């Protein structure tokens, strides 16, 4: 299994120099499919369209349940935004956790736009140095955008894109303002 | 073949989001996976591994207090047990180059970006089940070979111990 390879002939004098070289070990990893199936194994393993359909159907079954959960999460975001703007650490933590959940899940369940706004919000919070949210405008605008996207799922993609760009510009402007006010700080 | 194989697998899912754990578990069950183990962060997963040895680990990247990067790094440091080489699929909303490279350099087998799709998950599972990359051990890295393409190397042989012919 373990292979210790000899110096390369193409490496020139480097390959045979006396300088100690870091040891490199290559280990051949057996295929799990082969190990588990033994003689029943047929290579290569391919994606089975029937199984894929079964998985996609599972996601569709979960969609309605998730839609209810998403509504509650967005309502909670709106409750949290004000205390979070004022610096309440617990509210900020919960607001980030909810946005993080939406970033990961909304797109899977057909709410791609909600996921994109949540992603933008998460990236802003993650980059905000020392938890500096400025006056909180960036966060509240994001929360408003998330709520609108949930309530109006059929919005023209061009408008969505323009909103995302506007949020980006807002984040950029917010970063510049803080950079001007404090050495090396950036929220962008 | 697919159903027979998934019916023999134990997969550990590590994620701090209850919804994501549920989604992944349900998708794996739809595939026919025999046993799905769940943990809410790297610490809980580590405890679970004292009694179970899964065939594949699917972990989120951002978790508190022990994130997916630290967990994966700890796993890769295990020597002398198959668990140290277990395939790790990292699921993450951080899809920037830096995060993907960080995952790669820790020894992650596959990276799955959020939002996840059934096809994305299925494809990565097939990749780690049937087309595993060879494992590389150096003083600074332990994990699947980071080179996915098999083409001749033309630069300086910094490994110094690799036969090219």
Mean pLDDT of B106-121: 95
- Looking up tokens 């277990």 gives B86
Looking at residue A71, its pLDDT comes to: 96
> Are the C-beta atoms of residues A34 and A10 closer than 8 Å to each other?
no
Q: Is there a contact between A26 and B145 if contact means CB atoms under 8 Å apart?
A: yes
B22 contacts in chain A (CB < 8 Å): 62
**Which of A9, A28, A36 is facing B5, going by the closest CB pair?**
A36
Question: What are the start-end ranges of the E strands in A5-55?
Answer: 25-27
A121 contacts in chain B (CB < 8 Å): none
CA distance B44 to chain A (A): 19
pLDDT category of residue A188 using cuts at 50, 70 and 90? very low
Mean pLDDT of A91-115: 94
pLDDT category of residue B159 using cuts at 50, 70 and 90? low
Looking at residue A184, its pLDDT comes to: 37
Complete domains list, chain B, with CATH: 2-144 (3.40.50.2300)
pLDDT category of residue A83 using cuts at 50, 70 and 90? very high
pLDDT at residue A13 greater than cutoff 70: no
**Which of A23, A48, A101 is facing B2, going by the closest CB pair?**
A48
Q: What integer best gives the mean pLDDT of chain A?
A: 83
Mean pLDDT of B17-39: 95
Looking at residue B63, its pLDDT comes to: 82
**Which of A4, A14, A44 is facing B130, going by the closest CB pair?**
A44
Chain centroid offset of residue B17 CA: 18
> Are the C-beta atoms of residues B145 and A66 closer than 8 Å to each other?
no
Highest averaged pLDDT of the listed ranges A2-6, A133-137, B33-37: B33-37
Highest averaged pLDDT of the listed ranges A34-48, A115-129, B26-40: B26-40
User: Quick one: what percent of chain B has pLDDT higher than 90?
Assistant: 67
Q: Is there a contact between B159 and A22 if contact means CB atoms under 8 Å apart?
A: yes
Looking at residue B153, its pLDDT comes to: 63
CB contacts under 8 A, A 28-47 vs B, are 28-34, 36-37, 40-47
Looking at residue A173, its pLDDT comes to: 80
Cα–Cα distances (Å) from A142 to A155, A171, B7, B96, B115, in that order, read 16, 10, 44, 21, 19
Higher pLDDT among residues A126 and B123, named by residue: B123
- Looking up tokens 């993907």 gives B100
- Looking up tokens 């140290």 gives B84
Looking at residue B99, its pLDDT comes to: 87
DSSP for B67-130? -HHHHHHHHHT--SSGGGG--EEEEES--SHHHHHHHHHHT-SEEEESSP-HHHHHHHHHHHHH
B79 contacts in chain A (CB < 8 Å): none
User: Quick one: what percent of chain A has pLDDT higher than 70?
Assistant: 80
CA distance A135 to chain B (A): 26
CB contacts under 8 A, B 23-62 vs A, are 23, 26-27, 29-32, 55-56, 62
Name the nearest CA neighbour of B5 among A172, A47, A15, A97.
A47
pLDDT digits (tens, 9 = 90+) for B81-91: 889 999 999 99
φ, ψ for residue B42, nearest 5 deg: -60, -35
pLDDT at residue A87 greater than cutoff 60: yes
CB contacts under 8 A, A 117-156 vs B, are 119, 122
CB contacts under 8 A, A 57-86 vs B, are 57-59, 62, 66, 69
Q: Is there a contact between B160 and A14 if contact means CB atoms under 8 Å apart?
A: yes
DSSP for A143-188? HHHHHHHHH-TT--HHHHHHHHHHHHHHHHHHHHHHHHHSTT----
pLDDT category of residue B7 using cuts at 50, 70 and 90? very high
> Are the C-beta atoms of residues A85 and A139 closer than 8 Å to each other?
yes
Pick from A19-23, B8-12, B130-134: least confident:
A19-23
User: Quick one: what percent of chain A has pLDDT higher than 90?
Assistant: 49
CA distance A72 to chain B (A): 13
Whole-angstrom distance, CA of residue A22 vs CA of residue A43: 36
> Are the C-beta atoms of residues B14 and B58 closer than 8 Å to each other?
yes
| Predicted ipTM of the assembly | 0.83
Looking at residue B2, its pLDDT comes to: 75
Domain ranges of chain A: 64-181
Instruction: Give Dmax over CA atoms of chain B in angstroms.
Output: 51
**Which of B30, B117, B129 is facing A45, going by the closest CB pair?**
B129
Note the CATH architecture for domain A64-181: Up-down Bundle (1.20)
Chain centroid offset of residue B54 CA: 11
CA angle A171, A173, A179 (to 5 degrees): 100
Higher pLDDT among residues A87 and A17, named by residue: A87
pLDDT digits (tens, 9 = 90+) for A112-160: 999 999 999 998 998 886 778 888 899 999 999 999 999 988 888 888 8
Within a 10 A sphere around the Cβ of A41, how many other Cβ atoms? 16
Mean pLDDT of B51-71: 92
Q: Is there a contact between A8 and B135 if contact means CB atoms under 8 Å apart?
A: no
- Which structure tokens are listed for B161? 């111990």
Q: From A101, which residue of chain B is nearest by alpha-carbon distance? A: B17
């Amino acid at each position: 299994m373990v292979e210790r390879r000899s110096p390369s002939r193409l490496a020139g004098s480097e390959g045979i120099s006396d300088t100690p070289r870091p040891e490199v070990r290559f280990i051949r990893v057996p295929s799990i499919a082969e190990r588990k199936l033994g003689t029943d194994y047929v290579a290569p393993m391919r994606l089975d369209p029937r199984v894929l359909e079964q998985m996609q159907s599972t996601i569709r079954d979960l969609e309605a349940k998730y839609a209810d959960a998403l509504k509650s999460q967005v309502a909670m975001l709106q409750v949290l935004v004000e205390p979070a703007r004022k610096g309440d650490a617990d509210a900020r933590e919960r607001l980030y956790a909810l946005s993080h959940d939406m970033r990961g899940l909304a797109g899977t369940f057909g709410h791609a736009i909600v996921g994109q706004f949540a992603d933008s919000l998460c990236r802003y919070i993650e980059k905000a140095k020392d938890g500096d949210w400025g006056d909180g405008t960036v966060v509240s605008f994001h929360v408003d955008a998330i709520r609108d996207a949930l309530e109006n799922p059929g919005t023209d993609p061009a408008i969505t894109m323009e909103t995302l760009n506007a949020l980006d510009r807002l984040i950029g402007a917010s970063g510049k303002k803080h950079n001007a006010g404090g050495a090396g700080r950036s929220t962008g | 073949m697919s159903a027979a194989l998934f019916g023999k697998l134990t997969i550990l899912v590590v994620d701090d989001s209850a919804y994501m754990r549920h989604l992944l578990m349900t998708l794996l069950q739809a595939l026919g996976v025999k046993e799905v183990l769940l943990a809410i962060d790297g610490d809980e997963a580590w405890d679970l591994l004292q009694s179970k040895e899964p065939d594949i680990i699917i972990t989120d990247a951002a978790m508190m207090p022990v994130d997916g990067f630290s967990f994966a790094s700890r796993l890769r440091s295990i020597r002398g047990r198959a668990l140290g080489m277990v395939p790790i699929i990292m699921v993450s909303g951080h899809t920037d180059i830096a995060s993907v490279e960080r995952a790669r350099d820790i020894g992650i087998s596959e990276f799955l970006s959020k939002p996840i799709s059934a096809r994305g998950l299925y494809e990565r599972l097939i990749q780690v089940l049937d087309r595993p990359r060879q494992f590389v051990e150096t003083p600074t890295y332990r994990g699947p070979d980071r080179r996915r393409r098999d083409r001749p190397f033309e630069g300086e042989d910094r490994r110094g111990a690799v036969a090219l012919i």
